[in-house]
Structure 1
Amino acid sequence: MNRSVLLLTAIVGVVGSNSLVLSPIAAKVALSLGAESPAGVMTAAALYGLGVAAAALVLAPLADRFGAARSLRVALVLLAVALAASAASNTVFMLCVAQSVAGIGAGVAIPALYTLAAQIAPKGQEARVIGTVLTGWTLSMVGGVTLSAYVADFFGWQYVYGGLCFAVFAVLVPLARMDLPKQLASQSATSPLTALKVDGIVPALVAVALLGLGFYGVYNYLGAHLEVNLNRPVRDAGILTLLYGLGFAGAMAFDGILDRIPVVRGLAGIFALLTGFYLVLIWASSSYMLLLLIIPAWGILEHLGLNLTVGWLTRLDPAQRGAIMGLNSAVMYLSVFVATLVYRPGFTTYGLAICGLISAGLSLFAVVYVLQSRRKTAVPTAVV
């Protein structure tokens, strides 16, 4: 496999670890920092998502002018500083500030990573390469989040963020030496406004939002559910995340097929299956063993949905790929922010089952929406 693809995959794993790690260790962090509940600590996750969204809108388009590789290097330095500050936090407020800054770094890094993946992919193999890079999220779950749950349990949550800081510097060294594409996609300024004028982008972004809201509305409260409602230790959340990650990685077997199927039809199918999954989750949420059985299927479906939405967006306008992928990250991480806040009252009152019900409704709406969008909006011919 191409060394550049492997490096980008590893970087996705490191960046993704921070965006996912707080949920399974929220109970430990809350106890250490004197928060009223694990759900209160998740405010830091919401602010991280808001930081990603803001940076993806304002700063990610700069990759079209200065190059995605250069943008990625600067973003990772900022992320490392924010992770060090997270490890040193002694109040919830300090953690929220540090995670907001981490969000800014990730908001530039993630669009740059997806842009680089599209740039280095051979023609006709975009979904395969993007799918491989997306499996970095599996690394973040299997190697990052799962390990972090054990580290938090036995050593303390501060070591989790300290380890992530070290991991960022570990990938920065080979990134500085790697010969990545340096071409500038655009000689003129791009922005969210110019990207929003691209034909087909609005339905694609709505699909991203619905995918993100459904996922994070459940995932962000999964760790707290196990701790508070099922009386399970933090490490059990790590096992669930491990199984999700294995499902996410296993979906790579289908990435080649995605290059040949209509993206809208494929997304409609994935959202239909997600609707079914969330309905099953309502029934399974009262049993840890049932959750263990169904969680790998969630990983498979999320991988395929993410690959299809990213592939759709990267093909719309290569000259504005940085701005477009910035919008993608902004929408996805606004979903983190919105889902964390909107789902919280329901989770606090009714538990994880109501979160599954809301996500099922969103996924069902997504099925109808993406099918209607095919009739109203142009979609790249390579994926129709």
Structure 2
Amino acid sequence: MTYKENATISTLACILQTPMLLASVMLVGANAFVLSPILADVAHGLSSEPFRIAWSISAFGAATAISALTLASLNDHMPAGIVLGGAAWLLAIAQALSGMSQGWIGLCLSQALAGLATGVLLPGTYATTAATAPRGREAARLGLVLTGWAMALVLAVPLAALVTQHIGWRSVYALLAGMSALIALGLLWVLKGVPRQTHARTPPWRALRLPGVGLLLGVIFAYMTAFYGSFAFFGQGVRHAFELSAQGAGGFVMAYGLGFGMAGVGLGIIAPPISRSYLLAILIAIAVSYVTWGYALATPASTLMAAFLWGLLNQLGLNALVVSLNRRATEARGAVMGLNSAITYSAVFAGPMMMGPVYANGGFAAVTALAAVFVVLGALASWKLRINT
């Protein structure tokens, strides 16, 4: 059943559904990204060392992975509005507690609570986006919703730095909590008439047995390990190449976000059919983009263009993979998207850890060369898939 087919849902709610789902992705991205530029300020405010504050990011990632494995299947047997709205409310509470933290342990615990909410909210958003899209329009709707990540990079991160400078870092989390509460209300309303996918709760190990799901998750792990391993050292690589400050490197991160966001808008208009050949072509193009980083760092202009193209291609790749995974999920979308989130946040841990020694010995170009190898392996594995358009 698609969203528009449900007679209990108002026309306005139908119109606002995609913007609200986009907002929930932006919310997750904002919570994940805002700490990086204000790390020193938070450490000073809590009389702690920056590396201890950074542990809250690890706590967030670990809790997200655990929650995605154990709780994401709630999206399959409970109404979407209740699950996503409730998760957004829990995220609002976690962000409010983060802003009131009196020490690094309290911040870590608060961000772990945020991770529990994210492990339900993010896969639920992806699953609901695909489940409520008209047949053949999944890629278009998902492309628009995924631009929430770009908006978090382009808007939330600079805004967090600005707010911290003028009002203080606690105000950042207060604003996030208020935004989360508003989005929770919006999700409860626009998804009110969306039915549950099934009355049964699908455990992760059963979802993993669905045809093609395990192989696709393997491709996603290779893809995400390459991305997060490279992105972790992207800013440092640019700073080293051009002797920039942290603020100067931010422009290149913004170029990536703009490319990612523009590709999402383009997908919303074009809605390409997701086939095996399409997925393979995108993965090969991404691998080539990684290889060319050794040349792209020659000038700031070429680096900006490479960052923009990297963001554009990553939107296309992520979109194709998530749509393909959703099509194989049938009535277990919540569980399968939970597995996807668990795999993704495992890559958040594995990528930087694996690429750290590579960067130390060979620089950013060596990191992206290894990333290209991971993506090529994923592309070869994807050729075994049978993807129905």
**TM-score, L = length of structure 2:** 0.85
CA distance 1:354–1:364, shift in 2 (3 Å): same
Give the residue type in structure 2 aligned to 1:11. S
Matched with 2:148 is 136
Matched with 2:186 is 174
Matched with 2:25 is 12
Confirm whether residue 75 of structure 1 aligns to residue 82 of structure 2: no
2:34 to 10, 21, 25: 21
The answer (yes or no) to whether the contact 1:25–1:152 under 8 Å persists in 2 is yes
Structure 1 residues 296-318: Cα deviation after superposition (integer angstroms, max 9, x where no partner): 11111111111111101111132
1:242 to 241, 254, 274: 254
DSSP 3-state at the match of 1:336: helix
1:200 Cα offset (Å): 0.8
1:354 Cα offset (Å): 3.6
1:117 Cα offset (Å): 0.9
- What aligned pairs does 1:42-57 form with structure 2 within 5 A after superposition? 42-57=54-69
Matched with 1:367 is 379
Matched with 1:2 is 15
Give the residue type in structure 2 aligned to 1:103. G
How many residues were matched structurally? 375
- What aligned pairs does 1:84-163 form with structure 2 within 5 A after superposition? 84-89=96-101, 91-152=103-164, 155-163=167-175
1:2 Cα offset (Å): 2.1
The answer (yes or no) to whether the contact 1:56–1:107 under 8 Å persists in 2 is yes
1:330 to 332, 336, 342: 342
Matched with 1:356 is 368
DSSP 3-state at the match of 1:60: coil
1:108 Cα offset (Å): 0.4
Confirm whether residue 188 of structure 1 aligns to residue 200 of structure 2: yes
Structure 1 residues 176-233: Cα deviation after superposition (integer angstroms, max 9, x where no partner): 3324443121222211011011001012111211221111112233345566886534
1:351 Cα offset (Å): 4.4
Mapped partners of 1:324, 1:43: distance in 2: 28
Relative to structure 2, which stretch is displaced further, 164-173 or 102-111? Answer: 164-173
1:241 Cα offset (Å): 2.8
Mapped partners of 1:122, 1:113: distance in 2: 16
Mapped partners of 1:157, 1:227: distance in 2: 25
CA distance 1:228–1:37, shift in 2 (3 Å): farther
CA distance 1:231–1:158, shift in 2 (3 Å): farther
Give the residue type in structure 1 aligned to 2:388. T
Matched with 1:267 is 279
Give the residue type in structure 1 aligned to 2:96. A
- What aligned pairs does 1:33-48 form with structure 2 within 5 A after superposition? 42-48=54-60
CA distance 1:218–1:255, shift in 2 (3 Å): same
**TM-score, L = length of structure 1:** 0.86
DSSP 3-state at the match of 1:11: helix
Task: Compute the RMSD of aligned alpha carbons.
Answer: 2.8
CA distance 1:58–1:80, shift in 2 (3 Å): same
The answer (yes or no) to whether the contact 2:220–2:378 under 8 Å persists in 1 is no
Mapped partners of 1:24, 1:277: distance in 2: 27
Matched with 1:320 is 332
Mapped partners of 1:180, 1:370: distance in 2: 37
Give the residue type in structure 1 aligned to 2:28. V
Could you list the runs of 5+ residues in structure 2 that have no partner in the other structure?
1-13
Matched with 1:381 is 388
Mapped partners of 2:187, 2:163: distance in 1: 27
